[in-house]
Structure 1
Amino acid sequence: MSFFEEKNPEMDRYLENHASSEPEILKKLRRETFRKTTQPHMISGYQQGRLLTMVSKMLNPEKILEIGTFTGYATLCLAEGLSDHGRITTLDVNEDLAYLPRKYFTESKFSHQIDFKIQDAKEFLRNSGEFFDLIFVDADKENYAEYFRLIRPRTKSGSVVMFDNVLWYGKVLEENPRQKSTQAIKELNDLIAKDEDFENLILPLRDGVNFLRRK
């Protein structure tokens, strides 16, 4: 039985029915993502979206960085917690899909606080001199370990970092994985666990979120 076959749809419905509702704009975006994209499962979705919003609201960050925009669902969730003068920079390389997040960013009340860039995240991180209060990574898994190495210098004490899909359908349990993405995720989880500058916990939400805080 695979990692996802063990999930209980009835439990998911129960969890959603007993949590705060998502804003109407996110409901619309979620529906359009499933209608117009070939891999709608890549969207953060309801439960994870509410987690991102709660973390952002608790931090009330000035600067957020998101690596991997997709259709912008997680971006809008994170933006809910921004300070009044805060800003979220969200990066992606998929120009063909960029029209969709741009549409919803424009409609959002946070439009003036969202900086959407079509840019390689590694290039951005190497050239950026900014420090971020909150960073969320949900992008190409093969670069996860490299993203972490580049993110470290862009964090400060109290910064929170979240990596999505760190259980990778349960493939992280494979001792000698052949898939490069699995290798990279295992390397990431090992790097984080050994890094004394961070405290972390892997949350088994959906496909796993590695939740880090810089000491």
Structure 2
Amino acid sequence: MTDKVTINIPVQYEAIAFKTKALGFDMPSDLQTGSLLKTLVASKPGGRILELGTGTGLATSWILSGMDNHASLVSVDNNELLINVAKEQLKDNRIEFICGDGYEWIAAYKGASFDLIFADAMPGKYDLFEETFALLKTGGIYFIDDMLPQPNWPEGHAQRVEAFITMLEKRTDLVLTPLNWSTGIIIVTKTSNKI
């Protein structure tokens, strides 16, 4: 067995990856993260999915490929150039793309809760975690990547990651599994609405 992802890659992935490279975007999700996301999303038939940090849509393509026809996805990013790649390549009526400030979106959101949240941006992960986690249903999955050192991390980010992981480990309203795999994954399941 190998963990190399070679099958069931979304049809749009290659075109998105090409455009991502052309734009010089250096924070895309990798194939392993995408494959795991697809698997977890498939466990939520008819689910409401939230992606914070669309980027160019590489992970979005995997999320879509795991969704059934009754599921829906809200994907938020503040970079119009990047999100336009996703909009161009992923034309699907199950997606609502929002180009806007993630901090403002999280603070203002009053809609239905989500079955799975992929937090791949500062808001929703390192900032506004409580507000974002409150948007997740009990039994829902909160998924984060980039927990292992990355070459594009700014100075001081490693300490922020460590503090974030410590905070998660101390909570009593969730169970989690950290994976020293891909870019460093943590899969969290919300068990209650009380910390």
Q: Please report the TM-score for the alignment, with normalisation by the length of structure 2.
A: 0.86
- Counterparts of 1:174-185 in structure 2, within 5 Å, are 179-185=155-161
Q: What secondary structure sits across from 2:7 in the alignment? A: coil
- Once the 2 structures are TM-superposed, how far is the Cα of residue 187 of structure 1 from its aligned partner? 2.1
Q: Does 1:139 align with 2:121?
A: yes
Higher helix share: 1
Q: Does 1:197 align with 2:178?
A: no
Distance in 2, Cα, partners of 1:192 & 1:205: 18
Distance in 2, Cα, partners of 1:158 & 1:85: 19
Q: Does 1:72 align with 2:54?
A: no
Q: Contact 1:70/1:101 (CA < 8 Å) preserved in 2? A: yes
Q: What secondary structure sits across from 1:97 in the alignment? A: helix
- Once the 2 structures are TM-superposed, how far is the Cα of residue 61 of structure 1 from its aligned partner? 4.6
1:88 counterpart residue number: 73
Q: Please report the TM-score for the alignment, with normalisation by the length of structure 1.
A: 0.78
Output the aligned Cα RMSD: 2.4
* Structure 2 letter corresponding to 1:122: Y
**Matched length:** 189
1:16 counterpart residue number: 4
Q: Contact 1:63/1:134 (CA < 8 Å) preserved in 2? A: yes
Residues 43-85 of structure 1: CA deviation (Å, up to 9, x unaligned)? 2122221111111112225211001111101112112232422
Evaluate the alpha carbon distance shift between residue 54 and residue 122 of structure 1 in structure 2; reply closer, same or farther with a 3 A threshold. same
Give percent identity, aligned residues only.
24
Distance in 1, Cα, partners of 2:169 & 2:75: 26
* Structure 1 letter corresponding to 2:117: I
Q: Of the two, which has the highest radius of gyration?
A: 1
1:56 counterpart residue number: 41
* Structure 2 letter corresponding to 1:39: F
Aligned equivalent of 1:127, options 83, 89, 108: 108
Residues 88-144 of structure 1: CA deviation (Å, up to 9, x unaligned)? 0111111232321111112xxxx1011111122221111212311000011238x73
Higher strand share: 2
